[in-house]
Amino acid sequence: MAVIPVIDLEPYFSGAPGAIKSVAGELATALETIGFFLIVNHGVPRDLIGRTFDEARRFHAQPLDAKMALRMNEHNNGYMSMGRYAVWTSDVNANDKPDLNEAFFSKRERSPDDPLARSGRRFAGPNRWPK
């Protein structure tokens, strides 16, 4: 059974020599082999993590039509419904069936006057948020 890698950011934040290269290597290995990882010592407050999970549960508990009102836009921000993508290349099997997951994507929040937000460049547009 595969073990989900645990990546510790403390050496990076403390400025340890070689930490950037080491953490980057751990991330690359985790993503290339398992596809998942757990980050520890990241500095994100536990209460913020808890509130984020609460909001994710609230959003995904809504009826499909409410979620589809925030369908993913051209910047890949918003709701992705189940079955939207199929993984056509896999080292595990020759799967051609759609994924059975749903997700809500957002990116770094930018102010309306941020040059990148105003550029019109793909993937730099505004997030889509539930009301």
Of the spans 13-17, 102-106, 116-120, 123-127, which averages the highest pLDDT?
A: 13-17
In a domain, 24, yes or no: no
In a domain, 91, yes or no: yes
Give percent above pLDDT 70 in the chain: 91
In a domain, 12, yes or no: no
In a domain, 111, yes or no: yes
* Residue-level pLDDT at 44: 96
Three-state secondary structure call for residue 98: strand
Of the candidate ranges 14-28, 29-43, 112-126, the one whose mean pLDDT is the lowest: 112-126
In a domain, 8, yes or no: no
Mean pLDDT, the chain, whole residue set: 89
* Count of H-run helices and E-run strands, the chain: 5, 4
- Total number of domains constituting the chain: 1
In a domain, 82, yes or no: yes
* 28 phi/psi in degrees, rounded to 5: -60, -45
Instruction: Identify which of 107, 98, 104 has the alpha carbon closest to the alpha carbon of residue 68.
Output: 104
The answer to whether residue 84 scores a pLDDT higher than 90 is no
* Residue-level pLDDT at 112: 84
In a domain, 117, yes or no: yes
Global pTM? 0.70
124 Cβ neighbours under 8 A, 6+ residues apart: 75, 110, 116, 117
Owning domain of residue 75? 65-131
The answer to whether residue 86 scores a pLDDT higher than 90 is no
In a domain, 30, yes or no: no
Q: How confident is the model at residue 124 (pLDDT cuts 50, 70, 90)?
A: confident
